[in-house]
Amino acid sequence: MASEDENPTPEDEKARPAANVSPSPGPPMKDGPGPRSATRGAADYSAKDITVLEGLEHVRKRPGMYIGSTGITGLHHLVWEVVDNSVDEAMAGYASRIDVTLLADGGCRVSDDGRGIPVDPHPDPKMKGKSAAEIVLSVLNAGGKFGGEGYKVSGGLHGVGVSVVNALSARLTAEIDKAGNRHVVEFARGGKLTRKLEVVGRAPRGRTGTTITFWPDPTVFETTEFHAQTMSERFRMMAFLNAGLELRLSDEREGHEHEPISFKYANGLVDFVRHLNATKDPLFKDVIYYKVSDVDIGGEAEIALQWNTGYNEGIHSFANGIATIEGGAHVEGFKAGLTTVINKYARAGKTPRLKEKDENLSGDDVREGLTAIVSVKLRDPQFEGQTKGKLGNTAMKTLVQKATNEKLAQEFEENPKTAEAVIKKALDAQRIRNAAKSVRDAARRKSGLYGAGLPGKLKDCTGKDPVPSELFIVEGDSALGSAVNGRNPVTQAILPIRGKILNVERARVDKMMGNKEIQSLISAIGGNVGEDFDVSKARYHKIIALCDADVDGAHIRTLLLTFFFRQMRPLVDAGYVYIAQPPLYSTLVGKQKHYLKDNSARDAYIAENPTKKHEFSRLKGLGEMDFDELRDTTLDPGKRTLLQVTVEQAAIADEIMSVLMGDDVDSRKNFIVTNAREVRNLDF
């Protein structure tokens, strides 16, 4: 769940949280330059300064505006754009299978059995008789999703998808089976037409569909090597969200060859919830499921939920197949309906579990241990919020809330044992919540946990602006000394922690709040914790885990990330969490010392200098580094490398956290064995 961007420039903006939630992070980048100041007066600004970009040139000039970055996240975004078009065909009821193949020559092929892109000439005279297929593939803001009858519901509403893929590919070919014929059109670098659409023969009997094959442009991307595991995770989720749709992934690359992996789930969201709860202990056997639609608002809602014995809430929401990581109207409606139904049931009957004098169960109480998928489909979704990941259609709140009130109440009436299990867990959560409140109050009085008081071991920065401020979390006193001496005291703060912090995946809130290291993190960062966390009150806009490159360091990093993901999730969503990347090696060339990030960087250096002999020193642990060495390799923004932690697909991140940090040892072992080949440069 790490991305390669740090201090992104406008042309290389950071990729938003999910798309890539993977056990192995993408390649890191050096810190970008700071803001540029104007050096010319307004009088110097004239027509000669205006650049007119033709066709898809703007995409190549500013790829970050369209795909987030030119690193591994942006590379995979090309695949998502093409696959999303095929998924839209499935949502429209015209496709049942999508095949994705990673080719031996570095290309990627996406094939579906949908209707096929239209091939007839476009009626608009401005298009000069161009085929619809050529327009879709090479013109921005062109597609069948802007109000016509091509798609009533779709995920790709911006209309730039496949044309952006074309712009950023060295080559792209489209094969379209339609009306009994196979049509082919081809483009070269930047979307330049090299082969006009033509019929090359008959399509296989009865076949319709589109096959897009593209080769990412190595002059645009930092890497053109796809990660099969990242794709598997994404395709599995797509299959869950579209019951009955099959997605198949094949890998023909040397050293990666394997039989196609197929994802197909007849029960859709029900299977999704079972999958997420597979490493947990469900409170009851069956997954609760309901689906409703409303013709008047042109939308439908589909919901599946099940409680487990754990303490974390996992509500994952989608609109037209797009992950709404900030929630929105549909989630608000679900939460409101859920709380109302459970409180009403707890007060009903001859022996109510909640008496008249008792306080209501809170939303946090009823959602403890809940795993739920809230998926809506609607004609005109309105996305808002910081990441455009929040659904704003208020009509969906009413639809989901009403459906939850009715369907969940009916479920409880028909299955009282299920209701009793849920009520009991919520009451236990309420009791623990009240106990934790006492712990928080005591901590507040003692240490100013949420007030002005800061942990005594924090070496804070003198600057008060949170935007440039950075908090480095280091393990141990020896690393603390080097970090303090090597930092910029104006913008860089250092917080030492002792050993491995509490695993919040397995701990209830009262135990978590009683942990001194957790208390230090909360008070240093600011903004509170859990449901009360307010990212706007965070004291730093970079929270950087600075850990040794060994097994213990990796474990500490994982514990920190688990805490941030579970208890300060908006911090991750905002892109404020980073992992420091101290280099593994150094070598002297003359009198100048060069630092090399990992084994691959060392091997590449040797390959570029085959006639020279170099001695490579393995760098010591952070606590054993001199302060100037730590400064030059890890702290200095102009020289360091950071990984930005992102969550593009929260459901996948939730699953990985549960597997890696939960109690199921067999699942954790299987995960590690399965994903071992995706780990690069492992050297502990």
Q: What residues have CB less than 8 Å from 674, skipping those under 6 apart?
A: none
Tally helices (H) and strands (E) across the chain: 20, 25
Catalytic one among 81, 475, 573, 629?
A: 475
Catalytic one among 6, 12, 548, 648?
A: 548
Alpha carbon distance 97, 90 (integer Å): 8
The reply to whether 548 belongs to the active site is: yes
Alpha carbon distance 515, 67 (integer Å): 41
Produce one character per residue of 446-468: b if its CB has 16 or more CB atoms within 10 Å, e if not. ebebbeeebbeeebbbebeebeb
Alpha carbon distance 62, 628 (integer Å): 37
> Which DSSP letter does residue 489 get?
T
Residues in the chain: 684
Catalytic one among 124, 358, 550, 603?
A: 550
3-state class percentages of the chain: helix first, strand second, coil last, to nearest 5 = 35, 20, 40
Contact between 191 and 66 under an 8 Å Cβ cutoff? The reply is: no
Instruction: Scan for tokens 């479920």, then name that residue.
Output: 411
Strand-pair category, 288-294 with 299-307: antiparallel
Alpha carbon distance 98, 90 (integer Å): 9
Alpha carbon distance 223, 437 (integer Å): 49
Phi, psi (rounded to 5 degrees) for 449: -55, -40
Catalytic one among 225, 406, 552, 678?
A: 552
Instruction: Categorise residue 420: left if φ over 0, alpha if ψ from -120 to 50, beta otherwise.
Output: alpha
Alpha carbon distance 137, 344 (integer Å): 54
Nearest of 235, 232, 228, 221 to residue 72 by alpha carbon:
221
Alpha carbon distance 78, 234 (integer Å): 13
At 247, which amino acid appears? L
Pure H helices in 454-494:
477-486
Contact between 210 and 184 under an 8 Å Cβ cutoff? The reply is: no
Nearest of 465, 446, 464, 466 to residue 456 by alpha carbon:
446
Produce one character per residue of 205-234: b if its CB has 16 or more CB atoms within 10 Å, e if not. eeebbbbbbbbbbeebbbbbebbbbbbbbb
Residue 445 DSSP SS3: helix
**CA angle (537, 496, 657) in 5-degree steps:** 70
Strands (E), 220-298: 246-251, 258-263, 288-294
Contact between 117 and 208 under an 8 Å Cβ cutoff? The reply is: no
Measured on CA atoms in the order 630, 636, 637, 639, is the torsion positive or negative? negative
Produce one character per residue of 56-94: b if its CB has 16 or more CB atoms within 10 Å, e if not. bebbbeebbebbbbbbbbbbbbbbbbbbbbbbbbbbbeb
Nearest of 497, 608, 493 to residue 556 by alpha carbon:
497
Catalytic residues: 475, 548, 550, 552
